[in-house]
Structure 1
């Protein structure tokens, strides 16, 4: 009876929820990102499909250049004013593939969804990627993404080699064994060293996974993870969601390797899924305390009732459309992320929660992830084994709203630095330069390499505008 009552509430609220979508039109030569907070007027946009076209832009254009992929960074990291924007999204072919060696080489503009569709036919899967499959592979390398993959970490751990076009027009190969200096600067380098054109990735086997979850107090999570998840080779995906507004309870969610019969027969999520329920949930949760209660006590218990069994590749093909609200005209939804060494988990999260509460941040969700140490990228965010706190929140779009976000962002960056941690760079660029240098102590060395390989400062974006002289 209780389950049917909850379903009735959910259905009623869904009916009264608006489901219309406000899709902003792209103006000519205006580059923006998914948050719609950073419209940037570029000189023009070039959409290459071949190496020769990219080489032609880099060698022959006198102006500065910016590089864009899926445009899911949220602070202008893919553009700056008056640059020639190279839009990589049509540069998306599969170049070579070996099922036996479990590796694939792709053009950097390919989206993960397209890559997974290809390798799924051979019962293979990617080792590391972010949760959503709309990103381009080159963009993911440029920000050195991570995901929910247990025992993994930044994507650089699964990259065998790259090809990169330097400012002088040279197209070179780089790997951990060849041109290492460029390899470790380019991955996580936000397009500052050159244009990543090709990527060779290690793959792994696709398998069936069973979802399991448990609710607990956040104070017990580190012990739970260390003893139940970290060294369990059967766990493929794992994250823990912290529930607002009290922030003292979490739901830990794992997908474990299994031989059980599938409950979801599809091998991949649909390309054109309907996300009415998701948009309803976003709107409801963001609008009131009642919505946050509804998510915690009604929506999530319904969603996680029963342990589904699905393919690994099904879980790897989420579409960001499920997060898209009905409108971003007056408010928008944004991410931030903070990393702290695992030993600092218990001392960081109370500081984080205090900052969020004192500043009355409209938090939708905080997801906890785990990542192993980065093997050597110059702009490494995982300088040690870390927990990541991914904050998804709602904010207004006015200048006054942005100033409020800037204040509490600075407080969270300070809190992470005190714990010998860092913050993630693909989001709104509010860190002071001294904060940036403390969180990324190798940045000055990276800037030396940028000057070496890009002496005329050809490759630019808002991140370098803020911190690179």
Structure 2
């Protein structure tokens, strides 16, 4: 009865405080990302459905060109002023598929949800992707995403080959063995080399997974991970959530292969947009220290009761709309991410939490992920085997708010660099050039390749505006 009494309270509070989503009016030819912090006025927007349209646009336009997909990067990496914006979201077809070879070739604008819906019919799953399925495949490659997949790492590890359209209009095949310099510059290259048009991915079997979780002191996590998770071939997904504001306790969550009977029958998560309870929970957590206590002591214990058994593809089809706040006019939800070598875990997290506390950052969650070493992408964030610290926080939208964020962001970058780590580039561009070059020591080599394949600097966005010099 206590369980249902707590649930009843949650639903009552939901009805009391929930409100409709504020749909901001979109100004013509203004590109913005999900945070709504970076409106960029472009010259025009094209929505190609064929490679020929992309090639024609590149050849016929002498000015800047920028590329966007789902627009989930958060610092202007999808556009720059007065550019022609290539919106890839209608370039979303499936080109070929082989169940026997466990591979699929798609147009780069396809969303992961669409791809998974297709391969699920053949009981296959993707090897590596981010948690949410709204992203485009090309966008994921452009930032070299990772997810919660144990024993995996950057998405480049699951890419067999790509076709890319260069600044001169050439349509080029690239892989780890063919046109290697283009392959390793384009994946994780933020659209700087060209437009990734087609992607061939290696797939794996869909399987049933069972969730388990445990709560522990953060100081015990490294030993737990290395002894229990790191080399466990049965575990498919794993992450550990750090509870703010104390940052001294975590919940480690794993999904392991199983032959048990399904407790969740759906093969994919429902795509109905009914996320009121999720949004309320996030709003509660972001509102106050009390909200964070409610999450830790009431909401999460209810949510994590039992050990559900589901399909792997079910766990791969989260909808990012569940995170959307009611409005982004005065505040917004934002991500940052920092990477440190696995053996630096216990040295880094005290520095990170100290900075967050001193700057009174309104952190809603920090998720710890694991990634293997990158095989060679020029802007690799995993130069060794790393832990990723994914910080989800709330900030105001004024210039004063942005300055505060810039201050503690640079402090966190320095903390990561002091442990031979790095930070992730898809987020707000607050790093100094010195920090950028230290975190990405092969950036100058990448820029040389950019100059070679894009000599007239056609492909631009705010990331290159900040760090690239012709």
| Class of the TM-score when normalised by the shorter of the 2 chains | over 0.9
User: What stretches of structure 2 of length at least 5 have no aligned partner?
Assistant: none
Q: 1:168, 1:26 → 2: CA distance?
A: 33
- Identify the residue that residue 227 of structure 1 maps to in structure 2: 227
Q: 1:358, 1:95 → 2: CA distance?
A: 51
Q: 2:465, 2:326 → 1: CA distance?
A: 32
Q: Is the 8 A contact 2:149 2:238 kept in 1?
A: yes
| Aligned pairs for 1:176-215 within 5 A | 176-215=176-215
Q: Once the 2 structures are TM-superposed, how far is the Cα of residue 12 of structure 1 from its aligned partner? A: 2.5
Q: Is the 8 A contact 2:66 2:84 kept in 1?
A: yes
Q: Is the 8 A contact 1:19 1:280 kept in 2?
A: no
| Runs (4+) off by over 3 Å | none
Q: 1:386, 1:56 → 2: CA distance?
A: 41
- What does the per-residue CA deviation read over 1:390-416, in whole Å, with 9 as the maximum and x for residues that have no partner? 000000000000000000000000000
- Identify the residue that residue 394 of structure 1 maps to in structure 2: 394
- What does the per-residue CA deviation read over 1:310-348, in whole Å, with 9 as the maximum and x for residues that have no partner? 000000000000000111111000000000000100000
- Are residues 1:39 and 2:58 paired? no
Q: 1:321, 1:143 → 2: CA distance?
A: 21
| Aligned pairs for 1:118-197 within 5 A | 118-197=118-197
Q: Is the 8 A contact 2:18 2:276 kept in 1?
A: no
- Identify the residue that residue 384 of structure 1 maps to in structure 2: 384
- Identify the residue that residue 451 of structure 2 maps to in structure 1: 451
User: What stretches of structure 1 of length at least 5 have no aligned partner?
Assistant: none
Q: Is the 8 A contact 1:19 1:279 kept in 2?
A: no
- Identify the residue that residue 372 of structure 2 maps to in structure 1: 372
- Identify the residue that residue 20 of structure 2 maps to in structure 1: 20
Instruction: Classify the secondary structure of the residue corresponding to 2:165.
Output: strand
Instruction: Classify the secondary structure of the residue corresponding to 1:34.
Output: coil
Q: 1:2, 1:353 → 2: CA distance?
A: 34
Q: Once the 2 structures are TM-superposed, how far is the Cα of residue 270 of structure 1 from its aligned partner? A: 1.5
Instruction: Classify the secondary structure of the residue corresponding to 1:337.
Output: strand
Q: Once the 2 structures are TM-superposed, how far is the Cα of residue 26 of structure 1 from its aligned partner? A: 1.9
Q: Once the 2 structures are TM-superposed, how far is the Cα of residue 3 of structure 1 from its aligned partner? A: 2.2
Instruction: Classify the secondary structure of the residue corresponding to 1:189.
Output: coil
- Identify the residue that residue 301 of structure 1 maps to in structure 2: 301
Q: Once the 2 structures are TM-superposed, how far is the Cα of residue 6 of structure 1 from its aligned partner? A: 2.1
Instruction: Classify the secondary structure of the residue corresponding to 2:106.
Output: strand
Instruction: Classify the secondary structure of the residue corresponding to 1:238.
Output: strand
Alignment root-mean-square deviation, CA: 0.7
Q: 1:297, 1:225 → 2: CA distance?
A: 24
- Identify the residue that residue 419 of structure 1 maps to in structure 2: 419
Q: Once the 2 structures are TM-superposed, how far is the Cα of residue 8 of structure 1 from its aligned partner? A: 3.3
- What does the per-residue CA deviation read over 1:333-379, in whole Å, with 9 as the maximum and x for residues that have no partner? 00000000001000000000000000000000000000000000000
Q: Is the 8 A contact 2:95 2:107 kept in 1?
A: yes
Q: Is the 8 A contact 2:239 2:369 kept in 1?
A: yes
- What does the per-residue CA deviation read over 1:81-132, in whole Å, with 9 as the maximum and x for residues that have no partner? 0000000000000000000000000000000000000000000000000000
Instruction: Classify the secondary structure of the residue corresponding to 1:201.
Output: strand
- Identify the residue that residue 335 of structure 1 maps to in structure 2: 335
Q: Once the 2 structures are TM-superposed, how far is the Cα of residue 271 of structure 1 from its aligned partner? A: 1.6
- TM-score, reference length from structure 1: 0.99
